[in-house]
Copies of this chain bind each other. A is one copy, B any other.
Amino acid sequence: MKKLINNPDDLLPDSLTGFANAHADIIQLQRNPYVIHRKNQPTKPKVALISGGGSGHEPLHSGFVGTGMLDAACPGHIFTSPTPDQMIAAATTVENGAGILFIVKNYAGDIMNFEFASELVTAPNETVIVADDIALPKDHSMGRRGVAGTLIIEKMVGAAAEREHNLAYCKSLGDRICANTASIGAALTSCTVPALGRPTFDISETEIEMGVGIHGERGCSTQEFTDATTLTHNLGDAIYDELKPKKGQEILLHINGLGATPLIEQYLIYEIAQKYWKQKGITITRSLVGNYTTSLDMAGCSMTLTLLDPELTTLWDHPVHTANLRWGC
């Protein structure tokens, strides 16, 4: 294993400190336990959005803390859930009179820890569970995983909270976006967790891992890689079967790089994808391309699609000012 680190133990604390120092105008880092929260607290009561999860997916979630998106993020160890004390500390810091919405990716550890925190937090709170990864069947025993669609829920609900919608509204909005969002990914390589020191799975020079998650777990099938078009169509077909968008439906199309795939390839995938959806009669009105929900140094990409309506589009366009997503302000 060759990585730009000193040792696996110091990586997360030192990296978080670096993140906090690099973006001191936007966020602050609390220690013991670790919480990243927005620097400029809102002046009026607003629903406080708190997310978090294992590290190694940067910029998710810490990179999305700031005005118009998350109020706080709780970073766990690499690919490991944060602990309830982090969520409680986050809640104590950012709750300001309108309650808390937890946004949680659907993994057993995250669910358990956020649930525990939500019971201990005294302020009114709700939870939106993100389970956008359609690689697993809907009736999977653990439920589906939360992947790149999480950013979209955080962005849109963050805008709603900024517009002073109340907790019940933000919770219901989050659930609605989840129901209208589907993702699926494919990997060309595995990734190497520093503490493990070797790739989490083996894959040959001619294969791809279809329906891969973001924790170095295997996908639902290992397939021969033929070409980018076939791969992109396969991702599109899976999402089409899931969301069954009608002709004329407006969508947000998000092509997400998993970490080590160059932008030039991601934009190629975007181009194939946008042609695919156009041929289905679907109208792409918003797009996002880049490394947003990563899996350390994994090569590959995912496709996420959200069915838009005028409200969701307005919320997407609302100004956002975070370390890694920024527009309109």
Contact = CB atoms under 8 A, between A and B. Distances in A.
A139 interface: no
A265 B228 contact: no
A132 B275 CA distance: 40
B5 A268 contact: yes
Number of copies of this chain that the complex holds: 2
Interface in A245-287: 259-272, 274, 284, 287
Given A4-B265, A262-B58, A263-B294, A15 B271 contact: yes
Given A260-B260, A261-B4, A18 B56 contact: no
Contacts of A263: 58-59, 63, 291, 294
A264 B22 contact: no
A18 B262 CA distance: 14
Nearest to A2: B188
A55 B268 CA distance: 13
A12 interface: yes
Nearest to A273: B18
A22 B289 contact: yes
A176 interface: no
Given A21-B287, A297-B261, A268 B4 contact: yes
Contacts of A260: 259-260, 297, 299
20 contacts: A3-B188, A4-B299, A4-B301, A6-B228, A11-B265, A15-B264, A15-B267, A18-B268, A18-B270, A22-B274, A22-B287, A22-B288, A22-B289, A56-B262, A58-B267, A78-B264, A260-B299, A262-B296, A291-B291, A326-B326
Interface of A: 1-7, 11-12, 14-19, 21-23, 55-56, 58-59, 63, 78, 188-189, 205-206, 208, 225, 227-229, 231, 259-272, 274, 284, 287-291, 294, 296-297, 299-301, 324, 326-329
